[in-house]
């Protein structure tokens, strides 16, 4: 009996290892990228509110990768606003687009389903023009996070790269925040550090 149990356990381990080895990595839509430029698209966090000139995360990433990144961040933009100006991004013939929206939706109490319907449409419209999308997450909630699952589902279903909650560890910490919702130079540096390895993956 003990011998049978041992054989079953060994077979289970072998099957588990094989599944792990054979499992395909998630497919990144439009990878490798074929466009001309990298674009950062979103709201005031993309624009760099709270940072001194050149210390926003877009500028810091541009310096680190040695490539220009067009900053199309507009303070106050909701996901609906972003969807309305998506052609502004596609006109640049982007190879990679960093998308950061949702914070203003939360502040204005836009229904979650509406917010993520818009974000999903933005991702699809960018991908339809050939861009690799890097989705940047924002926490939806003061205590829990109502947004994380939605961001994850869009990233997985659409083949987008994903950086969870870029403000994690920054909100409420005066060392990293200029005001209650916008980072300072040190905070944007932290955000750039979170995004860099994922952006690098998109560009390899």
Domain boundaries, the chain: 28-203
- Indicate the pTM of the whole model: 0.86
The reported pLDDT for the residue numbered 3 is 55
pLDDT band at 53 (very low <50, low <70, confident <90, very high): very high
Q: Average pLDDT for residues 107-119, to the nearest whole number? A: 97
Nearest CA to 48 among 66, 32, 72?
Answer: 72
DSSP for residue 166: T
Which of 104-108, 139-143, 158-162 comes out lowest in average pLDDT? 139-143
Residue labelled with tokens 């932290």 = 190
Q: Average pLDDT for residues 163-190, to the nearest whole number? A: 97
Q: Average pLDDT for residues 79-85, to the nearest whole number? A: 98
The reported pLDDT for the residue numbered 9 is 47
Which is more confident, 137 or 18? 137
pLDDT over 70 (residue 19) = no
Provide CATH code, domain 28-203. Answer: 3.40.50.1110
Phi and psi (nearest 5°) for 87? Answer: -65, -25
């Amino acid at each position: 009996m003990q011998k049978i149990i041992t054989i079953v356990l060994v077979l289970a381990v072998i099957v588990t290892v094989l599944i792990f080895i054979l499992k395909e990595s998630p497919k990144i839509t439009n990878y490798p990228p074929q466009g001309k430029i990298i674009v950062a698209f979103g709201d005031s966090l993309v624009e760099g509110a709270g940072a001194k000139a050149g210390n926003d995360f877009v500028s810091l990433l541009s310096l680190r990768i040695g490539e220009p990144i067009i900053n199309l961040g507009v303070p106050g933009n909701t996901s609906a606003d972003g969807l309305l100006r998506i052609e502004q991004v596609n006109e640049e013939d982007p190879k990679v687009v960093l998308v950061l929206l949702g914070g203003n939706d939360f502040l204005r109490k836009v229904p979650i389903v509406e917010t993520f319907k818009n974000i999903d449409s933005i991702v699809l419209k960018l991908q339809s023009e050939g861009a690799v999308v890097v989705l940047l997450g924002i926490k939806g909630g003061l205590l829990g996070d109502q947004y994380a699952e939605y961001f994850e589902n869009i990233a997985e279903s659409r083949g987008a790269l994903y950086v969870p909650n870029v403000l994690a560890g920054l909100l409420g910490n005066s060392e990293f925040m200029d005001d209650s919702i916008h980072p300072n130079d040190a905070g944007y540096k932290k955000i750039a550090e979170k995004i860099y390895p994922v952006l690098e993956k998109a560009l390899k």
